[in-house]
Structure 1
Amino acid sequence: MTATTDRPKVSLRQFWADLPTPGRWLLSTVAIQTLGRGLTLPFTVIYIHEVRGIGLGTAGSLLALIAIVALLVTGPGGSLTDRIGARRMLLAGTFAQLVGCTVLAFATTVPMFVVGFVLLGFNFGVSWPAFNALIASVVSGPVRQQYFGVNFALVNLGIGLGGVIGGLFVDVREPMTFTLIFLADALSMLVPIGLLLIPLRHVHGRAEHPEDAATVGYLDLLRRRPVLWLTFITFLCTFIGYGQIESGFPAFARQVSEVSTQVIGFAFAINTLVIVALQFTVLKAVTGRRRTRGLLVMVALWVVSWLVLSSAGLEPGALFAAVAVVAFMGVFGLGEIFMQIAIPAITNDMADDHIRGRANAVNAGAFQGGAILGPIASGFLLEHDLSSVFIGTMLAGLVVMAGAIVVLERQLTAAENGVTAG
């Protein structure tokens, strides 16, 4: 990860001092509003399959429905973000999440789960481009990359704490415990709603379209080779990473490694601890250096993590299996840091202000595409006892991703790749 001289110094105190007031508001409540998501994230597939008695393959398809709906609304959501502003789109998405979690709390049939996941998918589809556009509208320069990294750490702090609490609280023999965590997730949405309605009511997150600028559509964006390659890389990151964390990983941990829900909750906690503890260390290491080199480090770490998880199936139900499951999430989390610093920063540094919503929507669409295929693939493979094929698919995808990152690096400018001018 070579770099030129005069790299900017990174410290938490300096970062906070450089943030504008809206940026401070956005960061100050992140961990609280994601706590509810952490309560439900590790246990959704367990809730569907073990508590409500729905087949594992169907459960994977239901989880994929979130991404399918998100993919369908991401394009219109990105365009509306550029037209009416990011704040309004975030409000619409967050309210849908509140209602969706309430429905899931009492869902007992596939149709009820469909309704709940459709609402969650709507939120994810419109909120991703809107949130990133809102951040980019209030934070610029090197602080923007740092913001994405710190925000990611705080998101994981909230999710991790929620995972610990959920792991200690839920019991597959007591369906009401799952109902309560989904209701808590719904109530946590009141935090961002209040934030957007009161202290951030004047931040619309919309840039005026320059009169001399050509109209840019989604196909125009995808014709730009760096955008196309970054989109492909994001898809693979999700298929191999986040598309499996909510479905493939807990299913493998329960069905193949035979560990308890408490172990899974603890694994998510370790994931969070790694991200929060090492976030600024990684930020200092990568600031001013090529972001693509950080992505290659991520690939190497994820290869190790999947190999570790595969070993958890060698002694099902044993202490070794539990240790391997937890270690997987720790190593995986370290790789996540590199990804979440690099990809949002590259996306927004490649985009002009007036198309930022659409640029983030393209990236979000790739994410949703991976999240669609990820749970479907893992659900099918694990339901048919093809755990070794499941692991092999993840490793093959990482090899392809490494090649794509090398190609992307050749097409980015120094500024887009995060290299500080010396």
Structure 2
Amino acid sequence: MPRSPVDPAVLRRRSVNRIVVLHGLSSFCYGMVFPFIGIHLASLPAVGTTGVAVYYGVSGLANLAVSLLLASAAVRVPRHALGILGLLLWLGCFLLLAGGGTLTGTAAAAVLGGAGQGCFMAAIIPIVNSLVPPEERRRVFARRYQVLNATLAGGSLVAGLFLTVFSDRAITWLLVANAVGYLPVALALALARRVPAVPENTGSGENTGSTESGDGSETAASDDRTGSLGVGLLIRASLGAALFQFGAYLFGYSQFEATAPLVADRLMDTGIGWVSVMLTLNVVVIVTLQRPITKLLEKRPEEQGLRIAVALWVAGLAAAGVTALGPGPLRLAGLLLYAMLFALGECAYSCSFHPWLISRVPERELTRANALCNSMMGIGMFFGPSIGVTLIGTGQAAWVWLPLAGLCGTVALTTVRRRRSRTATTVAPDPLPVG
């Protein structure tokens, strides 16, 4: 007796769950190596600290080049193939790092790693979006962010214990394990190719495939019927999201990951141990509160969620700045409060940003738009730490935190604008930012 066909919605749900779980597994594997890549490279006689700078610099440039290439449509690769290609490039990158020991090999690994990031990051959001109905989109993206943070932290903890027992030379085996960890995700993306995508314009009053320019010109969706968007129209539709991503990483994420530990150690006398506590507290808050914050925001416009995210980041930076003027215990309390507020902002960001981007561009152009935003993310992460280091030169922690609070606030003021209209068929993009 033939089997009855499985409901496409069930197939999509299974596929999304498989992708999220296996992506979490790869994130766990990456968590085992990412804090130790620089240590590993610096310990190699033919690489040293110069090789560390080469690795991160070349990787960033390769990511930027691939992201801009994809955004320009000079190269168009189906999203699933693009994601799998990115994972295979990552695999090659970490195998080279594990087996290499030369500056040339390090640079080659950096090219593969940066290109892999450009490919995978451009593809994964469109793939997940094609499997999720609009009304579930924010919950799924928030859950994905929660899983990736938890597994990344778990991998780092396990690796720290592992290296305590086996010494730093065992990092090579962790690099190999991380490379292998990309294969299950590639399999999940390959299986997702067979799953029917969510029909467009279904069920939520929120469209993912139509935009109208702020000056009343022809909609991007109508242009999309005759072919792909030109670069100009694509940039016009997604510029606000790209600039927000740039600002969020320039004044937000890069400052938390790079500047905050330096300020805490050099200017606030908290010690390395408390920096670890700060990072752990950040992950705990995300894992614990991501779901309730998503539920709180899912009935509100995505723009409001992004404003809330930036407001929380600004509040955290301001709190750290004000408490930095006080005695040691107060400075420490401010640092931990900053970590908590930044985590809450991350929760609001994770369930709002990609749904906001998706609502602004035609679905078939989402890979290009996501690549454009990814390039802005890379630029923000590249230049952000230099801003923090410059401010650290003032010698006063408050004069690091407080200017960053003001700069971070400009992100929401200049890039997150409310759409003029929101219907089942047309979503008008925000006016172009001024300045």
* Structure 2, unpaired ranges of 5+: 1-8, 201-220, 430-435
Partner of 2:283: 272
What do the CA deviations read for 1:215-242 (whole angstroms, capped 9, x no partner)? 3123221224xx2222211110011223
Partner of 1:200: 192
Q: Distance in 2 between matches of 1:62 and 1:360?
A: 24
Confirm or deny that 1:373 pairs with 2:383: yes
Distance 1:375 1:116, change over 3 A: farther
The Cα shift of 1:104 comes to: 3.8
Distance 1:232 1:78, change over 3 A: closer
Tell me the TM-score normalized by structure 2.
0.75
Distance 1:204 1:269, change over 3 A: farther
Q: Which segment is superposed worse, 138-147 or 408-417?
A: 408-417
Conserved 8 A contact 2:251-2:384 = yes
Conserved 8 A contact 2:25-2:151 = yes
Distance 1:212 1:307, change over 3 A: closer
Confirm or deny that 1:39 pairs with 2:39: no
Partner of 2:157: 164
2:359 aligned residue (340, 345, 349)? 349
Query: What are the equivalent positions in structure 2 for 1:102-117 lying under 5 Å apart?
Result: 102-105=95-98, 113-117=106-110
SS state at 1:124 partner: helix
The Cα shift of 1:72 comes to: 0.9
Partner of 2:349: 339
Query: What are the equivalent positions in structure 2 for 1:308-319 lying under 5 Å apart?
Result: 308-310=319-321
Q: Distance in 2 between matches of 1:306 and 1:39?
A: 29
- Between the two proteins, the alignment pairs up a number of residues equal to 395
Partner of 1:244: 255
Partner of 1:398: 408
The Cα shift of 1:46 comes to: 6.4
Conserved 8 A contact 1:160-1:268 = no
Q: Distance in 2 between matches of 1:245 and 1:105?
A: 29
Confirm or deny that 1:134 pairs with 2:145: no
Partner of 1:294: 305
Distance 1:97 1:308, change over 3 A: farther
Q: Which segment is superposed worse, 292-301 or 76-85?
A: 76-85
Conserved 8 A contact 1:218-1:362 = no
Q: Distance in 2 between matches of 1:33 and 1:384?
A: 40
Conserved 8 A contact 1:18-1:143 = no
The Cα shift of 1:177 comes to: 5.1
Q: Which segment is superposed worse, 106-115 or 336-345?
A: 106-115
* Cα RMSD, aligned residues only: 4.1
The Cα shift of 1:68 comes to: 2.6
Partner of 1:145: 138
Partner of 1:11: none
Partner of 2:70: 77
The Cα shift of 1:118 comes to: 2.6
Q: Which segment is superposed worse, 177-186 or 356-365?
A: 177-186
- The letter of the residue matching 1:304 is A
Q: Which segment is superposed worse, 394-403 or 34-43?
A: 34-43
* Structure 1, unpaired ranges of 5+: 1-15
The structure whose RCO (Cα within 8 Å, separation 6+) is larger is: 1
Distance 1:376 1:112, change over 3 A: farther
Conserved 8 A contact 2:267-2:396 = no
Q: Which segment is superposed worse, 104-113 or 336-345?
A: 104-113
SS state at 1:338 partner: helix
Q: Distance in 1 between matches of 2:260 and 2:248?
A: 15
- The letter of the residue matching 2:150 is L
The Cα shift of 1:402 comes to: 2.5
1:364 aligned residue (354, 362, 374)? 374
Conserved 8 A contact 1:297-1:335 = yes
Q: Percentage identity across aligned positions?
A: 20
Q: Which segment is superposed worse, 395-404 or 109-118?
A: 109-118
